[in-house]
């Protein structure tokens, strides 16, 4: 009695300590936990862009379902009400007013933002261009600014802005061919601030005033996806895990007919989860949201421990007796799982390593609670469980044992013949965004003529000034590549905020009034311009000579400020300037051109995100292989027989192969979550094999063992089968292989590892 | 075919010689509207305040009823020519090697007025013409002058379109800032 109380006290103290650690633990949702510990600069940029970049804040809005004029009116009203709100950095819908501040800024600072040649020859060439333009159809445009900007500085700036052809227009706003009124909204909240994004998106919905018409509001873009995904995973996880728990509870209740035993069955899992989180907290100081979500699923195996204990205790028997009997097998089963998951500890990704540690600590705690605490909690009133009578054909199972290798061979053939990609090589396959939402986004993007993020050149420096200088040097190096049509154009933070050095140099190159007048007069000598036309130009240059340099604050209130902020990121390690490239056709030329700038890297975002995924997969596969090898070694060491090892590994390998084949026949490329699922199949299935293998020569307890395995499997299939119906790829991809694979493991293990029928009958 | 149609229009016009202005304008427009395709050389002279001498360009004007208008200038000595095409309300301006400038005319009414006046005349689209302009007619079918004053104030103060029968011969544009352009259209080039 004293020892019982002592065990319970130790357990409660342990749980309290774990709870104390967990309570102080910060939950981390930073994607960088799923970056390698030594990320390549390109991967770093990718993640930075996902978290903070301009793309992560961009929301596309469309209004459809009503005639174009009506849609445009609603669009204008919506834009107007959003423009006053601090949660939105810019709201663009094609209305000229939206650009007025940008235009004013560019016009006032045109000589600080561009290089100019104000010598006699330079002015002469510019004026000759103006003359040709005046005679052209675009003459009326040139005419309007000729007197104040004969060198075309403003035109150059606008041309740089409008590099990409904007959306089509109609009814005074951006309008797609099929009559959708469009709007582009940039949120203040960065991609990593989901609460901020959710609030801003709510405001868009609230401000939408269809005025009783049939108008529909479409909102899409990365913030929308992120918020929707979070809500969906949250609701899926809550809903489905509640459903799964209910199903498992129903199965256990049907088996035990005792609410008390039912509650006790969950004690190991809950203790394990708490211990797992605490262990991760102790080692990593924080726990990632994904670890928390998955870890809880990965230790679903722990429910089985209680099942083995309770189901294998006959009426009148004591749990202690059962434990003595099953402990060696249970211990080996847990060690097998730990072995399998321990490979994850070696991962270069903190996220994987956290998952591995969580699982190991959780399973260890769960099995210890099962071994030491559960008997204390149930004794002495526990009456044991009635024996289930399994149908007679189960005993005949070994007669068709050859079916297992045959099925495995068939599965291997299916896998070998598959034509489509084995692994999903596209990052979007991991995206929790439903396909119809992705399709809508693509169609809206096409309407907007908004290019997907493609290629970037990035460079990092210690401070903003040197980062801007590097960006300017890069733009200079890339100019010949543009002339050579290796790329169509580029954007640069220095286009909006030139470095101080450049601003000073530009200001110094502006001639004094007398010198400028002389140069202009000389340049005009052979040209047919009227005298005195260019007085506003002379005044503008005199003004530019005296202007203080542009600072970041001068951009406030323009849409250019956000462009600048997205292209010039400030991080703990310094300042990163990004130069997005447009229409890149010859990456080699660009890579060669930027080679002189220290630290400059050309990044293909799509290729980079896919390669990051391949790194995940490669690492996942090799860790799984390592885990499998460790499991084999462990089993060999404890069974001390190659034949017994083979007997246990064959049904496991067969079930993994057949599960893979079934997933492949379903037509889907495999994802990394499928891989985790298979890892779990091995962890859970190995327990089945170990129990059945142990009773191969001892048929006495076999029916009870079989019943306990069946109950454990029913719980697993119920729990993970429910996940498989989720539309969220993460949950679906994890649930399906586990449900299929563990069921197959039990069937195959029964076929291969049951004693021959004659022996059983005897 | 065009010849026969032109004769028909002439006959019609002669028979109703004393008709009111509106009827005469409609007769002219009907005649113009029969011409489905025009291709003619032009000379344009622009008189600009900022210049001491007029700017002169030459090229080819093409029209396909009802709404495609193209003005392609000859290559200048430096190889810079330009082509401006208006079709279905969208203006495309190609100059040199750079990407074309594309504008929706609805969005730029000041250019729209310039283009629409010529298009509506060539297409014989009286409705569009009267909607956008106050129209004054002088002369007769053998030599007519139509003065178009935009109803919406913009770049252009007025346009004067001269023609003979179903052919435009000259377009004069007076802008509000005092600049002026004369476009002289030759015989059909085909």
Residue in chain A closest to B175 (alpha carbons) equals: A140
pLDDT at B97 over 70: no
Q: Please check the confidence at residue A387 and state whether its pLDDT lies above 80.
A: no
Q: Is any Cβ of chain B less than 8 angstroms from the Cβ of A143?
A: yes
Nearest CA in chain B to A531: B50
* pLDDT attached to residue B2: 52
The three-class DSSP label of residue A24 is: coil
Nearest residue in A to B83, CA atom: A137
* Option in B71, B80, B106 nearest A137 (CB): B71
Higher pLDDT, B64 or A446: B64
Measured in angstroms, the CA of A284 and the nearest CA of chain B are apart by: 54
Whether residue B46 and residue A135 make contact (CB cut-off 8 A), yes or no, is yes
Question: CA of A206 to nearest chain B CA: how many angstroms apart?
Answer: 29
Nearest to A165 among B84, B102, B179 (CB): B102
> Do A143 and B57 lie within an 8 Å CB cutoff?
no
Q: Looking at residues B133-156, what average pLDDT do you find?
A: 85
**Are residues B141 and B6 in contact, defined by beta-carbon separation less than 8 angstroms?**
no
Name the more confident of A38 and A241. Answer: A241
CA distance A156 to chain B (A): 13
CB-CB under 8 Å, B76 with A139: no
Q: Where are the alpha helices (DSSP H) in A99-152?
A: 100-108, 110-113, 120-134, 139-145
Q: Is the pLDDT of residue B99 over 70?
A: no
**What is the CA A362 to chain-centroid distance, rounded?**
26
Q: Which residue of A has its CA nearest to B180?
A: A140
pLDDT in tens, A57-89: 888 899 999 888 888 889 989 998 998 888 887
Q: CA dihedral defined by A86, A87, A92, A93, rounded to 10 degrees?
A: -110
Residue A118 lies in a domain: yes
* Mean pLDDT, rounded, for A476-491: 86
Closest Cα to residue A720, out of A693, A750, A748, A740?
A740
Return left, alpha or beta for A96; rule: phi > 0 is left, psi -120 to 50 is alpha, else beta.
Answer: alpha
* Comparison of pLDDT for A735 and A448, the residue scoring more: A735
B186 Cβ contact partners less than 8 Å away, ≥ 6 residues apart: B40, B41, B42, B43
Distance from CA of B85 to the nearest CA of A (A): 11
Q: Which of A357, A386, A415 is the last residue of a domain?
A: A386
| A602 vs A595: CA distance, rounded Å | 10
What is the arithmetic mean of pLDDT over B108-135? Answer: 83
Q: Do B57 and A132 touch (CB under 8 A)?
A: no
User: Contact A136/B57, CB-based, under 8 Å?
Assistant: yes
Element (H, E) at A456: strand A455-461
Inter-chain residue contact A529 with B51, CB threshold 8 Å:
yes
Looking at the domain assignment, is residue A63 inside a domain? no
Is the pLDDT at A759 greater than 60, yes or no?
A: no
- Contact of A752 with A650, CB cutoff 8 Å: yes
Is the CB of residue A683 less than 8 Å from the CB of residue A337? Answer: yes
Residues A19 and A123 in one domain: no
Interface residues of chain B, partner chain A, Cβ below 8 Å: 46, 48-53, 55-57, 71, 73, 76, 78, 80, 82, 84, 93, 95, 99, 101-102, 104, 106-107, 110-111, 155, 175, 177, 179
Question: What does chain B look like in DSSP terms, one character per residue?
Answer: -HHHHHHHHHHHHHHTTT--HHHHHHHHHHHHHH--EEEEEEEEEEE-TTBSS-EEEEEEEEEETTTEEEEEEPP-TTS--EEEEEETTEEEEEETTSPPEEEEGGG-HHHHHHHHHHHHHHHT-HHHHHHHEEEEEEEETTEEEEEEEESS-SSEEEEEEEEETTEEEEEEEEETTS-EEEEEEEEE--
Taking contacts as CB-CB distances below 8 angstroms, the residues of chain A near B55 are 131, 134-135
Instruction: Considering only the beta carbons, identify the residue of A139, A170, A528 that sits closest to B106.
Output: A170
Write down the H helix ranges in A135-193: 139-145, 153-161
Q: How near does any CA of chain A get to the CA of B60, in Å?
A: 14
What is the rounded distance in angstroms from the CA atom of residue A184 to the CA atom of residue A744? 51
Cβ atoms A30, A351 nearer than 8 A:
no
| Closest CA–CA distance from residue A152 to any residue of chain B (Å) | 16
Please check the confidence at residue A433 and state whether its pLDDT lies above 70. no
What is the pLDDT confidence band of residue A674, given thresholds at 50, 70 and 90?
confident
| Residues paired with residue B183 on neighbouring β-strands, in sequence order | B44, B171
- The pLDDT-based confidence of A747 (bands split at 50, 70, 90) is very high
Q: Which of residues 408-427 of A touch B (CB under 8 A)?
A: none
Largest CA distance in chain B: 54
Q: What is the pLDDT of residue A762?
A: 36
- Please give, rounded to a whole number of angstroms, the shortest distance from the CA of A177 to a CA of chain B: 12
Q: How far is A172 from chain B (nearest CA, A)?
A: 6
- Which residues are within 8 A (CB) of A758 and not within 5 positions of it... i.e. 6 or more apart? none
Q: What is the mean pLDDT of residues A83-112?
A: 82
Domains, chain B, in order of start with CATH, read 2-188 (2.50.20.10)
Token digits of residue A374: 């559960």
Tell me the average pLDDT across A720-737. Answer: 81
pLDDT at residue number A241: 74
- Identify whether A660 is part of a domain: no
How close B66 gets to chain A, by Cα (Å)?
Answer: 21
**A221 neighbors A433 (Cβ within 8 angstroms):** no
Q: Is A379 strand, coil or helix?
A: coil
Residue B129 to chain A, least CA–CA distance (Å): 21
Distance (Å, rounded) from C-alpha A122 to C-alpha A127? 9
| Residue A427 within a domain | no
Q: Which residues of chain B have a CB within 8 Å of the CB of A134?
A: 46, 48, 50-51, 55
Distance from C-alpha of A133 to C-alpha of A139, rounded to nearest angstrom: 5
* Chain B residues within an 8 Å CB radius of A144: none
Residues whose CB falls within 8 Å of the CB of residue A588, separated by 6 or more in sequence, listed in order: none
Q: Return the DSSP state at A522.
A: H
Nearest by Cα to A730 from A303, A232, A378: A232
Whether A256 has a pLDDT exceeding 90, the answer reads no
Q: Which of B50, B110, B111 sits opposite A146 (nearest CB)?
A: B50
Q: What is the largest CA-CA distance in chain A?
A: 121
The two structure tokens encoding residue A231: 């809500």
> Among candidates A442, A363, A382, A279, which has minimal Cα distance to A684?
A363
Q: Give the dihedral sign, CA A75/A80/A83/A84.
A: negative
Q: Is the ipTM beyond the 0.95 threshold?
A: no
What does the CA dihedral A444, A450, A451, A455 come to, rounded to 10 degrees? Answer: -130
**Interface-testing mutation among B44, B45, B47, B48, with chain A (most A C-beta atoms within 10 A):** B48
Rounded to 5 degrees, φ, ψ at A571 are -130, 175
Q: Let me know if residue A339 belongs to a domain.
A: yes
**Of the partner residues B80, B175, B179, the one whose CB lies closest to the CB of residue A132:** B80
Taking CB atoms and an 8 Å limit, are A134 and B50 in contact across chains? yes
Contacts of residue B49 in chain A, CB cutoff 8 Å?
A: 530
**Do A16 and A108 have their domain in common?**
no
Counting other chains too, the contacts that A77-82 makes at CB distance below 8 Å and 24 or more residues apart are A77/A209, A78/A183, A78/A204, A78/A207, A78/A208, A78/A209, A79/A173, A79/A183, A81/A207, A82/A185, A82/A203, A82/A204, A82/A207
CA-CA distances (angstroms) from residue A50 to A222, A284, A509? 9, 23, 40
Q: Which of A356, A386, A416 is the last residue of a domain?
A: A386
For residue B35, the distance in angstroms to the closest alpha carbon of chain A comes to: 25
What is the spatial order of strands in the sheet that B180-188 belongs to? B101-104, B90-95, B82-87, B68-73, B55-64, B37-47, B180-188, B167-175, B156-164, B143-150, B133-140
Q: List residues bridging with B144 in a β-sheet.
A: B139, B163
pLDDT-based confidence at residue A405 (cuts at 50, 70, 90):
confident
- Please state the domain count of chain A: 2
Instruction: Supply A516's token pair.
Output: 């400028």
Min distance A528 CA to chain B CA atoms (Å)? 5
Phi, psi of A443 (to 5 degrees): -70, -35
Residue pair B176/B157 in contact by the 8 Å Cβ criterion: yes
Phi, psi of A26 (to 5 degrees): -85, 135
How large is the average pLDDT for residues B115-126? Answer: 85
Last residue of a domain, one of A359, A386, A413: A386
Query: CA-to-CA distance for A576 and A470, rounded, in angstroms?
Result: 10
Residues A122 and A20 in one domain: no
Q: Does A107 share its domain with A11? A: no
| Chain A residue nearest residue B48, CA to CA | A134
Among the partner residues A137, A170, A528, nearest to B104 by beta-carbon distance? A170
pLDDT digits (tens, 9 = 90+) for A348-384: 777 778 888 998 999 999 999 999 998 888 756 666 6
Q: CATH number, domain at A271?
A: 1.20.1640.10
Q: Which neighbouring-strand residues pair with A603?
A: A456
Identify which of A139, A146, A530 has the shortest CB distance to residue B46: A139
Give the whole-angstrom CA distance, residue A635 versus residue A332.
Answer: 8
Q: Which of A136, A483, A529 to substitute to test the interface with B, most B CBs within 10 Å? A: A136
Measured between beta carbons, the chain A residues lying within 8 angstroms of B175 are 140
- Which domain range does residue A322 map to? 1-27+258-386
| Residue A451 belongs to some domain of the structure | no
Ramachandran area for residue A557 (φ above 0: left; ψ -120 to 50: alpha; else beta): left
Of A135, A140, A170, the CB nearest to B55: A135
Q: Which residues in A230-351 belong to E strands, given as ranges?
A: 286-288
CB-CB under 8 Å, B110 with A140: yes
**Count of CB atoms within 10 A of residue A577's CB?**
25
- Closest residue by Cα to residue A619 from A611, A609, A607: A611
User: Cβ separation of A529 and B82 shorter than 8 Å?
Assistant: no
Which residues on chain A are in Cβ contact (under 8 Å) with B102?
Answer: 165
pLDDT in tens, A544-583: 999 999 998 898 877 787 778 778 888 777 898 988 887 7
Is A707 inside a domain boundary? no
Closest residue in A to B181 (Cα) is: A135
Buried b (16+ CB within 10 A) or exposed e, A601-621: bbbbbbebbbbbbebbbebbe
Q: How far is it, in rounded angstroms, from Cα B124 to Cα B146?
A: 13
Residue A422 lies in a domain: no
Residue B17: per-residue pLDDT:
42
Q: Specify the pLDDT at position B15.
A: 44
Running DSSP on this structure, what letter comes out for residue A725? Answer: T
A135 and B57 in contact by Cβ < 8 A? Answer: yes
Computed on alpha carbons and rounded to an integer, the radius of gyration of chain A in Å comes to 34
Average pLDDT estimate for A710-714 = 89
Judge if A265 and A375 occupy the same domain: yes
The whole-angstrom separation of Cα A677 and Cα A741 is 9
Contact B95 A530 (CB under 8 A): no
Q: How many contacts does A have with B, using Cβ atoms within 8 A? A: 59
| Percentage of chain A modeled with pLDDT above 90 | 24
Q: What 3-state DSSP class applies to A461?
A: strand
A258-311 pLDDT, tens digit per residue, is 888 888 888 998 899 899 999 999 998 888 776 776 676 667 778 888 888 888
């Amino acid at each position: 009695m004293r020892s019982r109380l002592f065990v319970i006290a130790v357990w409660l103290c342990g749980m309290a300590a774990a709870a104390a650690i967990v309570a102080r633990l910060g939950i981390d949702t930073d994607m960088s936990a799923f970056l390698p510990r030594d990320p390549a600069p390109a991967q770093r940029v990718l993640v930075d862009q996902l978290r903070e970049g301009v793309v992560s804040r961009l929301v596309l809005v469309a209004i459809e379902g009503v005639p174009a004029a009506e849609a445009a009116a609603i669009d204008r009203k919506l834009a107007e009400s959003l423009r006053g709100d601090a949660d939105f950095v810019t709201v663009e819908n094609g209305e000229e007013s939206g650009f007025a501040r940008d235009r004013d800024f560019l016009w006032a600072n045109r000589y600080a933002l561009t290089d100019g040649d104000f010598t006699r020859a330079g002015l002469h060439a510019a004026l000759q261009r103006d003359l040709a333009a005046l005679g052209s159809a675009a003459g009326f445009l040139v005419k309007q600014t000729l007197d104040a900007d004969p060198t075309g500085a403003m035109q150059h700036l606008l041309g740089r802005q409008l590099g990409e052809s904007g959306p089509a227009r109609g009814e005074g706003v951006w309008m797609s061919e099929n009559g959708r009124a469009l709007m582009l909204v940039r949120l203040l909240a960065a991609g990593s601030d989901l609460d901020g994004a959710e609030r801003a998106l709510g405001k868009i919905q609230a401000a939408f005033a269809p005025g009783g018409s049939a108008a529909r509001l479409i909102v899409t873009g990365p913030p929308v996806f992120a918020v929707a995904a979070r809500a969906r995973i949250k609701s899926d996880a809550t809903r489905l895990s509640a459903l799964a728990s209910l199903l498992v509870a129903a199965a256990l209740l049907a088996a035990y007919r005792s609410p008390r035993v039912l509650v006790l069955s969950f004690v190991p899992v809950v203790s394990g989860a708490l211990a797992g989180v605490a262990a991760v907290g102790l080692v990593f100081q924080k726990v990632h949201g994904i670890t928390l979500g998955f870890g809880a699923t990965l230790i679903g195996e722990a429910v089985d421990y209680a099942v083995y204990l309770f189901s294998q205790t006959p009426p009148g028997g004591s749990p202690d007796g059962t434990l003595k009997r099953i402990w060696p097998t249970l211990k080996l089963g847990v060690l097998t799982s730990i072995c399998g998951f321990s490979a994850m500890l070696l991962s270069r990704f903190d996220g994987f390593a956290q998952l591995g540690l969580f699982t190991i600590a959780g399973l260890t705690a769960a099995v210890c609670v099962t071994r030491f605490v559960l008997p204390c909690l149930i004794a002495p009133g526990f009456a044991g469980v009635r024996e289930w009578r399994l149908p007679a054909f189960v005993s005949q199972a070994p007669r068709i044992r050859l079916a297992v290798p045959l099925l495995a061979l068939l599965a291997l053939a299916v896998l070998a013949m598959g034509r489509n990609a084995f692994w999903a090589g596209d990052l979007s396959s991991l995206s929790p965004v439903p396909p119809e939402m992705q399709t809508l986004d693509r169609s809206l993007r096409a309407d907007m003529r908004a290019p997907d993020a493609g290629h970037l050149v990035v460079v990092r420096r210690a401070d903003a000034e040197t980062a801007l200088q590097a960006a300017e040097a890069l733009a200079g190096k890339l100019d010949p590549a543009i002339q050579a049509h290796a790329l169509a154009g580029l954007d640069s933070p220095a286009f909006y905020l030139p470095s101080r050095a450049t601003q000073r140099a530009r200001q110094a190159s502006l001639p004094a009034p007398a010198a400028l007048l002389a140069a202009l007069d000389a340049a005009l000598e052979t040209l047919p311009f009227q005298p005195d036309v260019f007085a506003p130009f002379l005044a503008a240059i005199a003004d530019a000579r005296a202007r203080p340099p542009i600072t970041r604050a001068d951009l406030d209130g323009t849409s250019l400020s956000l462009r600048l902020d997205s292209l010039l990121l400030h991080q703990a390690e310094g300042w990163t300037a990004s130069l997005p490239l447009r229409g890149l056709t010859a990456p080699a030329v660009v890579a060669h051109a930027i080679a002189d700038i220290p630290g400059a890297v050309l990044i293909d975002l799509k290729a980079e995100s896919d390669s990051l995924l391949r790194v995940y997969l490669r690492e996942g596969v090799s860790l799984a292989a390592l885990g499998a090898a460790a499991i084999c070694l462990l089993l060999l060491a404890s069974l001390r027989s190659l034949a017994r090892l083979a007997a246990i590994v064959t049904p496991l390998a067969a079930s993994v192969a057949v599960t893979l084949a079934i997933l492949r026949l379903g037509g889907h490329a495999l994802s990394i979550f499928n891989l985790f699922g298979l890892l779990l199949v091995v962890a859970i299935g190995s327990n089945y094999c170990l129990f059945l293998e142990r009773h191969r020569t001892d048929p006495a307890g076999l029916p009870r063992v079989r019943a306990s395995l069946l109950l454990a499997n029913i719980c697993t299939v119920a729990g993970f089968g429910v996940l498989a119906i989720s539309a969220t790829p993460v949950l679906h991809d994890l649930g399906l292989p586990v449900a299929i694979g563990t069921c197959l493991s039990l069937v195959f293990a029964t076929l291969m590892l049951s004693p021959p029928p004659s022996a059983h009958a005897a | 075919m065009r010849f026969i149609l032109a004769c028909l229009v002439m006959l019609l016009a002669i028979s109703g010689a004393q008709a009111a202005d509106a009827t005469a304008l409609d007769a002219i427009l009907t005649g113009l509207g029969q011409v489905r395709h025009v291709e003619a050389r032009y000379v344009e002279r622009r008189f600009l305040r900022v210049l001491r001498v007029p700017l002169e360009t030459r090229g080819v004007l093409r029209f396909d009823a009802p709404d495609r208008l193209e003005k392609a200038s000859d290559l200048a000595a430096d190889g810079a020519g330009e082509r401006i095409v208006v079709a279905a309300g969208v203006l495309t301006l190609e100059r040199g090697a750079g990407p074309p400038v594309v504008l929706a005319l609805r969005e730029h009414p000041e250019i729209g007025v310039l283009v629409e006046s010529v298009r509506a005349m060539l297409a014989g689209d009286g409705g569009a013409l009267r909607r956008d302009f106050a129209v004054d007619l002088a002369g007769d079918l053998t030599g007519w002058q139509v003065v178009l004053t935009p109803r919406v104030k913009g770049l252009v103060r007025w346009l004067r379109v001269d023609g003979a029968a179903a052919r435009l011969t000259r377009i004069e544009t007076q802008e509000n800032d005092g600049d002026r352009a004369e476009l002289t259209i030759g015989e059909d080039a085909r």
